[in-house]
Amino acid sequence: MTSNCKAFRARILHFTDIPDPSAGQGFEYYDDGVLVIEQGLVKQLDSAKNMAAGGFDLSQCEHFPDHLLMPGFIDSHIHSPQTDVIVSYGEQLLDWLNKFTFPNELKFSCREFASQKAEEFIDILLENGTTSAMVFTSVFAQSTDAFFDVANKRNMRMMAGKVMMDRNAPEGLLDTPKQSETECRALIEKWHKVGRMRYALTPRFAPTSSPEQLAVAGQLYRDYPGLYLQTHLSENIQEVAWIKELFPSAKDYLDVYDHYGLLGTRSVFAHGIHLNDREVQRLADTGSGIAFCPTSNLFIGSGLLNMQRLEDAGIPISMATDVGGGTSFSLLRTLAEAYKILQVQQQTLHPLKGLYMATLGNARSLMLDGYIGNFETHKEADFVLLNLTPNRLQRARQAVANSLEDTLFALMMLGDEMNVDRTYIMGKLAYQRHNSEQGE
Ligand code: GUN
Ligand code: ZN
């Protein structure tokens, strides 16, 4: 092994496709596996036995015999300025925005504050095993610049954008179509495709953008190849009714975005709970994605996503926390709430499918699977080391787990950031839990 190489020996799980649990396909699991990394990229993955038989010296590995090593989690929709308003009491979407979210986002006009909060936000992502995310910053361009600065220094694969909003919010939080065009262009030219950074156009949602501003978003989307677009869609019943008043000539909510050219394979619409059949078909026809935000949908009381309906239509669905509407940064917690939302609709979420969605599935939905999502050779080595038994309850439950699937189901349903012992970005240790055991 050369000096640029590192090797990790642990239980290892990753996905190669949508898992088919009954056929045992779409995933690879090693009870005792070795992941070799060279210059931040995956070089090799195999069982310790095969590696040793091929002449590899296992004593070079950092050894975590009881840990589960997995690709880092990917969060397809989250708000960096909302860490401090997480679990704000008692309101549904529109009142929650006015009462808690907008006042807090005003603080991000200060660059220094925005920088500190970006550092803290990324520390919390890493503590939760999240290595990539698609992020709403705030309306203030300097807060977006600060976010990219921090994410770039940490070398994380991130998509983010300045929120565009020019109406129906407090005066101090509004931009104008012209201002958002100028500021977005400057941010795109400074950050898009720099290192692991990608720019995501971010009109907050149709109610807070004028038709002129949505037209600017459409123009920018056409002007710069490879940009992403993120916004909210059909989250809450009152919101949908408001769209009818604000855009009386649109066929429905999605049609507003469609009219301005905002649909496509790089477009991610958060929520999509209350969609009509035409909207579902149109999302599918354009390859546009839906970000499923279970803890948020329950916490702000928005509704239950019929995931099966969207999947059957062929819409790419990704998993997201939507903090601060969501109540946890943990993708494991998020999967547990997704499972319950599906249960009450007589649908289900197999643990292999859930963990696939949080890794390779989200990478695919976000068109990032050429870079991240699993341990294919040459992919970027972002990964987590999970402790399956961080507390008494999980120790008790895991002691009776009688299959890999049962072990993973207990992890998915009971797990959270307490299970994340270490997080690595391109092979480098980026987070370590204080009480985590040393490698042997
Ligand atoms: N719709 C418009 N803005 C927001 C937001 O910040 N959070 C959520 N959950 N929905 C929104
Ligand atoms: Zn959101």
**114 and 161 share a domain?**
yes
The percentage of residues in the chain with a pLDDT greater than 90, rounded to a whole number, is 97
Q: What is the pLDDT of residues 125-171, one digit of tens each?
A: 999 999 999 999 999 999 999 999 999 999 999 999 999 999 999 99
Q: Locate the ligand 1 atom nearest the alpha carbon of residue 208 and give its number.
A: 2
Residue 326 in contact with ligand 1 by CB distance below 6 A: no
Q: Give yes or no: residues 48 and 92 share one domain.
A: no
Give the ligand 1 atom nearest the CA of 93. Answer: 10
Residue 424 forms part of a structural domain: yes
For residues 345, 351, 354 and 359, what is the CA-based torsion angle, rounded to 10 degrees?
Answer: 180
Whether residues 89 and 116 share a domain: the answer is yes
Task: pLDDT band for 221, please (50, 70, 90 cuts).
Answer: very high
Closest CA to 199 of 190, 208, 207: 190
41 shares a domain with 186: no
Per-residue pLDDT reduced to its tens digit, 350-376? 999 999 999 999 999 999 999 999 999
**Domain endpoint, select from 296, 317, 349:** 349
The residues, any chain, with a CB within 8 Å of residue 172's CB and separated by 6 or more, are 106, 109
Q: Which residues contact 202 (CB under 8 A, 6 or more apart)?
A: 136, 137, 160, 161, 162, 163, 164, 229, 230, 231
Tokens of 139: 């309306």
What's the CATH number where 13 sits?
A: 2.30.40.10
235 lines ligand 1 (CB under 6 A): yes
Sequence-distant (≥ 6) Cβ neighbours of residue 12 within 8 angstroms: 28, 29, 30, 33, 34, 35, 45, 68, 69, 70, 375
**Can you read off the two tokens belonging to residue 62?**
């950092």
Q: Is residue 356 part of a domain?
A: no
In a shared domain, residues 64 and 99: no
Here the ipTM equals 0.99
Burial of 266 (0-12, 13-18, 19+ CB in 10 A): buried
Which residue range(s) make up the domain with 385? 5-71+373-438
Q: Is the CB of 232 under 6 A from ligand 1?
A: yes
Distance (Å, whole) CA 339 – CA 327: 16
CA neighbor of 423 nearest in space, from 69, 15, 31, 43: 69
Task: Tally the domains of the chain.
Answer: 2
Q: In terms of domains, do 225 and 291 share one?
A: yes
Task: Name the residue of 105, 204, 273, 328 to mutate for ligand 1: max ligand atoms within 8 A of Cβ.
Answer: 204
- Both 18 and 126 in a single domain? no
CATH number for the domain harbouring residue 278: 3.20.20.140
Distance 89 CA to ligand 1 centre (A): 15
| Model pLDDT for residues 271-311, shown as the tens digit of each residue | 999 999 999 999 999 999 999 999 999 999 999 999 999 99
Q: What is the mean pLDDT of the chain?
A: 97
CA dist., res. 370 & res. 360, Å (int): 10
State the ligand closest to the CA atom of 86.
1
- How confident is the model at residue 2, as a pLDDT? 77
- Assess if residue 366 is contained within a domain: no
Write out pLDDT tens, residues 67-111. 999 999 999 999 999 999 999 999 999 999 999 999 999 999 999
pLDDT classification of 437: cutoffs 50, 70, 90: low
Site to probe by mutation for ligand 1, drawn from 84, 97, 136, 298 as the one with most ligand atoms within 8 Å of Cβ, is: 97
Is there a single domain that holds both residue 63 and residue 87? no
**Rounded mean pLDDT, 215-236:** 98
Same domain? For 231 and 294 the reply is yes
Banded model confidence at residue 120, pLDDT cuts 50, 70, 90: very high
Least distant ligand from the CA of 163: 1
Q: Alpha-carbon distance 215 to 229, whole Å?
A: 13
